Amino acid sequence: MYRSGAASDGALTDGAPNAEGFTQPTLDSLGTPLAEVTFCVVDLETTGLAADACGITEIGAVKVKGGEVIGEFGTLVNPGESIDPRVTRLTGITDAMVADAPGIEAVLPSFLEFARGATLVAHNAGFDIGFLRHACELTDTRWPRPPVVDTVVLARRLTEKSEVPNRRLATLARLFGSPVTPNHRALDDARATVAVLHGLIERASGHGVTTDAELAEFCRAIPSELQRRKRHLADGLPHGPGVYIFRDADDRALYIGVSVDVAARVRSYFSAAEQRRRLRDMLASAERVEVIECAHRLEAGIAELRLISGGKPPYNRAAKFPEHRSWVRLSDEPYPRLQISRNPPGPGTPRLGPTSGTQAQAAIGAIEAALPIRSCRTRLSPKRMSPSCVLGEIGRCVEPCRHTVSVEEYAAVAERAARAMDGDPAPVAAAVTERLAELAAAERFETAAERRDELGAYLQLAAATHRTRSLVAAGEVVAAGRAKGGGWEIAVIRHGLLAGAVRTPPRVDPMPHIAKLRETSRVVDPLDDVADAAHAAETRLLLEWLARPDVRLVMVEHPWASRLDGAERWSGAVPHDPSAWRRSNGER
């Protein structure tokens, strides 16, 4: 284990990817110095405020580099519609002024060529860029997706209310001594925005912003004083796979995460990119960072899963309460019904899950739509009758409440429901498919969509349940995945749980390492199915890893296979459009 040490300056990484797959910056990827960046400051005048309903009447742009103007662009544009008189009073642009001006289809290519290769700058950039993008759509022109800087955003970061009452262009132009006064004409406003941009860049340099990449990050956010003060917590951590734990002064776990480069990932919490309020609140209480180093990413992911479900850290959300997951099972009654339970069914009990309550209820709906099993929650007795319901009256239930079937006869219906959970889902899929075709023929598409979604939820849940069960029943599975940089990432899996992990060195025979790992791995009691929701979550994470194309099976103790008549063969068989359902031998 590692603990964060004293404060020191962080070092540049060598370009290794972090937990999200992004590459850490190198000396060659820190951006272009701002003095070498070409900025194209643009301003538009329009007939209104909505880009998709109004037209452009004027474009003005100034191209600058190194603080010097290197080009200007200005033209009126015929918007192809009348200008609102209120807009004319504001800008001074009239219908007569734009009558002989070129249309946007002629102006746009010239402007894009003028701005090619430059970073676009605008005051309230969302407005101007929105109109330009819409103009590209109207003229079937490819939008070049240039970098964009919004001087309003920069001004909010770099000016105080004590200096300026607002961040309007005219107000900022006065603050930064613009020689041009904004007047709602495109070129003059662009010239004023140039002065504002230069003033803001000068202020940003005091915050260490010297390149276009740093400027882009600075525009997104500025690290809070709290983040800067606690940045030392990321010092001294290892650059390798593992789990990191933020702890408070009482040593309680606040937040648990995982990464292939722990040092880089933890450092990101103290950067401008981290804007989640929840995690900023966490940092306020954090006093140290503990790291558990792991052999590889899979072991780290499993360790994270176990620590979160066991410790319930307050700032984690995912995987925190596996015990809240739901199971579909048959009730223990003379006349069983399908029910949702938070308690895992006992060994050998037919079940689906664990899953969300929503998916569990949808899966029950599919089975109930296909089989005459009762859906009422009344506890029925074979000794006395109970009131009937509408499902019995329309033939959708065999009415055990009325004793129209014996306990033994109803047991056959319950057995079909058990097989729908543990075995072949084809009878359920075929029955629901037939019903979908009937609904589509009657143009009852909303009802058909509901039945379709229920069937999809059922098939998806059944497939997931069968996959986890098959891996657990396989006993010991040894697998190896290619490691970045050479070698193998080895995992010993026993009954759906990770029992051991190791990474072998490059160009070394992995078999001796595997033999030693099998001897020292955790002992797991034999199981035929997942024991609880936490077990299922770990098994599913292992299945995702095993499905990777670079992973190779080394040894499997017992047969590990999917049933030919199982739910996985129905994958993708539920169409999005209910009207597309056509039944043919129970399949689409």
Give the CA distances from residue 137 to residues 45, 56, 101, 104, 530, in Å, rounded to whole numbers and listed in that order. 19, 14, 21, 11, 53
- CA separation for the pair 229, 376 (Å, rounded): 60
CA 269 – CA 23 distance, rounded (Å): 16
| Measured distance between the N- and C-terminal CA atoms of the chain, rounded to whole angstroms | 55
User: Would you call 134 a catalytic residue per the annotation?
Assistant: no
Enumerate the β-bridge partners of residue 248.
Answer: none
**ω into residue 354 within 30 of 0, thus cis?**
yes
Q: Is 274:268 a contact under the CB 8 Å cutoff?
A: yes
Question: For 54, what's the count of Cα atoms within 13 Å in the CB-facing half-sphere?
Answer: 18
Local structure of residue 492 (DSSP, 8 states): E
Out of 123, 184, 232, 558, pick the active-site residue: 184
Query: Which three-class secondary structure string do you get for 144-198?
Result: CCCCEEEHHHHHHHHCCCCCCCCCCHHHHHHHCCCCCCCCCCHHHHHHHHHHHHH
Amino acid residing at 471: L
Three-class secondary structure of residue 59 per DSSP: strand
Which pair of tokens denotes residue 554?
Answer: 């080394």
Q: Which residues of 559-577 are buried (b: 16+ CB within 10 A; e: fewer)?
A: eeeeeeebbbbbeeebeee
Q: What does the block give as tokens for 275?
A: 């804007």
Strands 476-482 and 488-494: antiparallel
Contact residues for 549 (Cβ-Cβ < 8 A; gap 6+): none
Q: How far apart are CA 55 and CA 52, in angstroms?
A: 8
User: What DSSP element (H or E) covers 242?
Assistant: strand 242-247
- What DSSP line would sit under 251-281, residue for residue? --EEEEEEESSHHHHHHHTTSTT---HHHHH
Which two structure tokens, joined as six digits, stand for 295? 């052999």
Output 374-377 pairs: Cβ under 8 A, ≥24 positions apart: 374/335, 374/337, 374/398, 374/400, 374/401, 375/337, 375/338, 376/337, 376/401, 377/337
Q: What dihedral do alpha carbons 259, 24, 224, 156 form, nearest 10°?
A: -140
Which of the residues are catalytic? Answer: 184
